[in-house]
Amino acid sequence: MTRRGVKLQKINLYFAHLAHKIRQKAPKELPKSEEDVDALLASIEGELSASGGIEKAGLFVVGMAQGVEHVVANYFNPLGWDLSGPQVGFAAAAAANQKKWDDLVKEFAIANAEWFCVGPGKRLVATGIQLLFAVDAANKAAIAQGQQRPASVSLQQEAADL
């Protein structure tokens, strides 16, 4: 397949699968010139990258809060902060209050769009890392809760029978 053919196929696939994320409508007829094909493809990819970065900006803030909490708890804490204390953790508080600061983060991302134009590879990695942190936190919370509560009498009896 020629380079132009690959570009045209990408354009068709973007409109077929991601039209709901693209403001512009699919052209009735695809561009003929190489420059017009490049311009249309760049416009689509630029829009997806910008909106994807803005969409993920809130997750970046939650991830940053997780990183700060981890560093302060384990490596560097000159101010003596307890960001992962028994009542609430910094990352959990940031995630729980995301609706309160989400518009501000989106405004910041739009104002600094050049930082937040994130391609699909980086968005995929960021989403994977965010999922990894969420699973880790959920499992650690379940383990902590399990250690705080004794097993039920029936579960203790079942364990003794084994």
Residues near 97 by beta carbon (within 8 Å), at least 6 away in sequence: none
pLDDT tier for residue 39 given thresholds of 50, 70 and 90: very high
Average pLDDT rounded to a whole number, residues 66-93: 85
Tell whether 9 is covered by a domain.
no
| Higher per-residue pLDDT: 67 or 150 | 67
- The 3-state secondary structure of 92-155, one letter per residue: HHHHHCHHHHHHHHHHHHHHCHHHHCCCHHHHHHHHHHHHHHHHHHHHHHHHHHHHHCCCCHHH
What distance in Å separates the CA atoms of residue 49 and residue 13, rounded to the nearest whole number?
16
How big is the chain by its Cα radius of gyration, in Å?
A: 23
Flag whether pLDDT at 37 surpasses 80.
yes
Tell whether 151 is covered by a domain.
yes
Q: Can you give the residue range of the structural domain that contains 131?
A: 47-161
What distance in Å separates the CA atoms of residue 109 and residue 107, rounded to the nearest whole number?
5
For the stretch 110-124, pLDDT in tens is 787 777 777 788 878
Tell whether 94 is covered by a domain.
yes
Tell whether 150 is covered by a domain.
yes
Number of domains in the chain: 1
pTM as predicted: 0.56
For the stretch 94-151, pLDDT in tens is 888 888 888 888 888 878 777 777 778 887 887 888 788 778 877 877 787 776 555 5
Tell whether 40 is covered by a domain.
no
Spell 21-39 as b/e; 16+ CB within 10 A means b: eeeeeeeeeebeeeeebee
**How far is CA 74 from each of CA 5, 61, 70, 82, 129, rounded to the nearest angstrom?**
53, 20, 6, 11, 20
Flag whether pLDDT at 162 surpasses 60.
no
Tell whether 14 is covered by a domain.
no
9: tokens are: 């196929």
Q: What is the mean pLDDT of the chain?
A: 81
| Higher per-residue pLDDT: 21 or 118 | 21
Tell whether 93 is covered by a domain.
yes
Tell whether 15 is covered by a domain.
no
